[in-house]
Amino acid sequence: MSYRHCPLCAKPLSLRAHAGSLDVQRMSCPDEACGFVHWDNPVPVVAAVVEHEGDLILARNKAWQAPFFALITGFLEKTDTSPEDAVKREVKEELGLDATGAHFIGHYVFERQNQLIVAYHVPAMGVITLGEELSEYRRIKPEQARYWPVATGLALRDWLRSRGFEPQEMALPARPN
């Protein structure tokens, strides 16, 4: 979230250095009595490499341009008891599947969205029923999977490598300016 005015006192924010982060300037309230600093810390997101009936499940969000498919992701909510529970919740919400486990793969920075991705392998069972955010899904054999060279794609790559596969990198579509 980008702030132009202080959310506490409404004064215009300005870039200033702060103790402990002198090399990084932060948007801050000029009123010392207020003291608001927008730290702009990354947002925690969970991601699932979903394995269902021996296939990987990749999905396309309704907001994305076709034909891009990716992992199931969602925000770590303050009501989640752990990242593992959050990723299981997301798999249930987005695919209607019941997770039978959540095995940590790694954490990845997604700079473009200012997110910290916490990725898991999630074996799941049940009948796929897409949640309201998804438009479609694809089943991919692990040996045929390719990865995209950022964030969740790197998690998929790492999980595939842990299973003895050497996936190929796919090109990302050009982003409009």
**How many CB atoms neighbour CB 57 within 10 A?**
24
82 and 5 share a domain?
A: no
- The CATH number of whichever domain residue 133 belongs to comes to 3.90.79.10
Determine whether 61 is exposed, middle or buried from the number of CB atoms within 10 Å of its CB (0-12, 13-18, 19+): middle
Q: Clarify whether residues 13 and 66 are in a common domain.
A: no
Tokens 């490499």, residue located: 49
In SS3 terms, 61-120 reads as ECCCCCCCCECEEEECCCCCCCHHHHHHHHHHHHHCCEECCCEEEEEEEEHHHCEEEEEE
Do 11 and 84 sit in the same domain of this protein? no
Same domain, 8 and 83: no
| Tens place of pLDDT per residue across the chain (177 aa) | 578 899 999 999 988 887 666 677 888 899 989 989 888 888 999 999 999 999 999 999 988 877 789 999 999 999 999 999 999 999 999 999 999 999 999 999 998 889 999 999 999 999 999 999 999 999 999 999 999 999 999 999 999 999 999 999 998 766 544
The model's pTM is: 0.84
Residue 139 lies in a domain: yes
Residue 73 belongs to a domain: yes
Q: Give residue-wise pLDDT tens across range 71-112.
A: 999 999 999 999 999 999 999 999 999 999 999 999 999 988
Q: Are residues 107 and 21 in the same domain?
A: no
For 85, phi then psi, to 5°, come to -65, -35
Q: What is the CATH number of the domain that holds 22?
A: 2.20.70
At 26 the three-state DSSP class reads strand
Please tell me the total count of domains within the chain. 2
Tell me: cis bond preceding 67? Omega within 30 of 0 counts: yes
Q: What is the span of the domain harbouring residue 140?
A: 43-169
The answer to whether residues 86 and 18 belong to one domain is no
